[in-house]
Chain A
Amino acid sequence: QSVLTQPPTASGTPGQRVAISCSGSSSNIGSKYVYWYRQFPGTAPKLLIHSTNQRPSGVPDRFSGSKSGTSASLAISGLRFEDEADYYCAAWDDNLTGWVFGGGTKLTVL
């Protein structure tokens, strides 16, 4: 059972906009930055969003992050087949004194 809660699956068709949610608590998302990672099968995760809504260099502006209260969201617009991957949210947790990850969301592009 992950500290951060994500839907296990999400899907969309090419060109659509998809949002993946991440629910936490006041000790993590509610008071800390949120990070989003993307992982393709057999490879290491890679940062997609840092500091809740900032894109690292090289990440297209189709990807955006936001937060409201103790929930965060990753939005992907203009969905492409190559966006099929697992997506994870993460944040520091003050109560646990450690990083916590969501359980991951497998995105399928139909």
Chain B
Amino acid sequence: EVRLVESGGGLVQPGGSLTLSCAASGFTFSSYWMHWVRQTPGKGLEWVSRINVDGSGTNYADSVKGRFTISRDNAKNTLYLQMSSLRDEDSAVYYCARLSWDDVWGQGTTVTVSS
């Protein structure tokens, strides 16, 4: 079964840091670009970042550039999102996703930034 499972979400204070993980299974992880997409409760989807197959190329939304870092470990079939200088507006459900013609999404992990 093709699966993505996120973890690492939680409550963090403004200015704090958090690292999300996404464990992939059931497909050749190292063959796909991977993405992080977030969704604020009751609001729409916002693309956050993507990484190429070997980790040498990344892109970020302007809203997180300089604060978030996407990375991957193909040996562990795991995608990461390091988040720092967190702001209230970063509170959201974060999805790990394979955005391709045969897309796969995780179930999401919730990040709450609050004092």
Contacts and interface: CB of A to CB of B under 8 A. Distances in A.
User: Which interface class (under 10, 10 to 19, 20 to 34, 35 or more) fits B?
Assistant: 20 to 34
Contact of A45 (B50, B61, B105): B105
Interface string A87-100: 01010000011111
Interface string B54-72: 0000011110000000000
A46 B45 CA distance: 12
Contacts of B37: 45, 99, 101
A31 to B, nearest CB: 17
Nearest to B102: A56
Interface string B27-54: 0000000010100000011110010000
A65 interface: no
A34 to B, nearest CB: 13
Contacts of A103: 44
A101 B101 contact: no
A99 B47 contact: yes
User: Which interface class (under 10, 10 to 19, 20 to 34, 35 or more) fits A?
Assistant: 20 to 34
A100 B47 contact: yes
A93 B107 CA distance: 26
B103 interface: yes
Interface in A43-102: 44-47, 50-51, 54, 56-57, 88, 90, 96-102
Given A44-B106, A45-B105, A46-B105, A99 B44 contact: no
Contact of B95 (A44, A51, A88): A44
A99 B35 contact: yes
Interface of B: 35, 37, 44-47, 50, 59-62, 95, 97, 99-103, 105-108
